[in-house]
Amino acid sequence: MSARSGSDKENAPRIDADEILAGILEWVDIESPSHDAAAVNRMVDRVESQARALGGRIERVPGRDGFGDVLTVRTPWGGDGPGVLVLSHLDTVHAIGTKEAENRIRREGDRVYGPGIYDMKGGAFLAHYAWRHLVRLGQETPLPITFMFVPEEEVGSPTSRALIESAALRNKYVLVTEPARDGGRIVTARKGVARFVVEIAGKPAHSGARHEDGRSAIREMAHQILELESMTDYERGVTVNVGLVEGGTGVNVVPARCRAEVDVRVPNPALAEEMVRRVEGLTPVNPDTTIAVTGGMNRPPYEKDAGITALFEHARGLAREIGFELGDVKTGGGSDGNFTAALGIPTLDGLGVDGYGAHTDYEHMLYSSLEERATLMLRLFQTLE
């Protein structure tokens, strides 16, 4: 890159919060719930068209299993050598119509509301904007940049995980545009996530005439729920949550079946192995019932190793140059960063907008975070090598 004169620098395009806001709101206006492939692909269409306008090299993998397409965009410079992988997801947890009802798109002072604006269309657009700003400046970066937009992160990335891991192994760094936490902190560690389905089979009977012949699957599940929930250990950072339960066929029938879905969070691989073993080892209290457990680890633990520490310190130095202090946090929520960090690729997560209320009807981002977060993303692109 050539040096710029003082007057050139003064006349260079500047990062502009209003411009960023307009772009984010355009993306938020295209609602894209995970299980609506057509809706997600409308979002993919928009991002693809904007990326083509910047000269991006496009690869679009058709969706499967009812999910949308995976979009990969590479900068026109740097070839296909190892570079920076930027991970974003275009799906949200919010149903079509949320933008006009439960969480209308609107600005109230520093807060800007809308479905998925914080998690994570705000952050996804920040990365796109930083690239667009580089193009306007006429600059290239030391490393090529690959942007990957996935369609189903909110449900565990079942169709995109292999593509994410393959892309990560071809790059030196991974930047994840999930939202910032706790007043602008980025994420340098996440708990691993396991999901299980527990199914219990009993024996049906008439609840009045032959109650004694029945073996209640719901009663047995009640015992198993207490056992599962007792596995929570805050001191070790383990949580077990039975979040969904359904069973039975009628109020006057001893229930012959019951099903529960279980979420487990663990901080490290050793505890992941232990908890998988314990859940899979559930045994019935009533020997006349049977238990079947399926599932396992959905996202491996994301631990702050030496590579992540060095990458964070680099980002913190850039933030100080920009004019703010950057902190980091370990969170219990999972993301696609879990996959890449577990592969040993230095990964920084939570580089998106600051805000609050992910997945709620009051989800919002902070307008005041836009310029500094976009500038940090830009400086990471300019300095990673």
Domains 6-190+302-383 and 192-299 share a fold: no
For the record, the structure tokens of 60 come out as 């679009």
Amino acid 4: pLDDT = 40
Nearest alpha-carbon partner for 351 in 103, 95, 122, 43: 122
pLDDT at residue 5 is higher than 50: no
192-299 under CATH 3.30.70.360, yes or no: yes
What's the whole-number average pLDDT of the chain? 96
pLDDT at residue 12 is higher than 80: no
Query: What angle is formed at CA 369 by the lines to CA 363 and CA 370, rounded to 5 degrees?
Result: 95
pLDDT tens digits, one per residue of 78-99: 888 899 999 999 999 999 999 9
Amino acid 79: pLDDT = 84
pLDDT average, residue stretch 223-251 = 97
Please enumerate in sequence order all residues whose Cβ is within 8 A of that of 265, keeping only pairs 6 or more positions apart, or say none. 191, 192, 193, 194, 237, 238, 239, 332, 334
Confidence of residue 50 (pLDDT cuts 50, 70, 90): very high
pLDDT tens digits, one per residue of 115-142: 999 999 999 999 999 999 999 999 999 9
Domain 6-190+302-383 homologous superfamily, CATH = Zn peptidases (3.40.630.10)
What's the CA gap between 46 and 70, in Å, rounded?
Answer: 13
Amino acid 3: pLDDT = 36
Amino acid 9: pLDDT = 57
pLDDT at residue 10 is higher than 70: no
pLDDT tens digits, one per residue of 308-362: 999 999 999 999 999 999 999 999 989 999 999 999 999 999 999 999 999 999 9
Confidence of residue 367 (pLDDT cuts 50, 70, 90): very high
Given a contact cutoff of 8 angstroms between Cβ atoms, the answer to whether 20 and 97 are in contact is no
Spell out the domain ranges in the chain.
6-190+302-383, 192-299
- DSSP letter at 33 equals B
Say what the pTM is. 0.90
pLDDT tens digits, one per residue of 253-312: 999 999 999 999 999 999 999 999 999 999 999 999 999 999 999 999 999 999 999 999
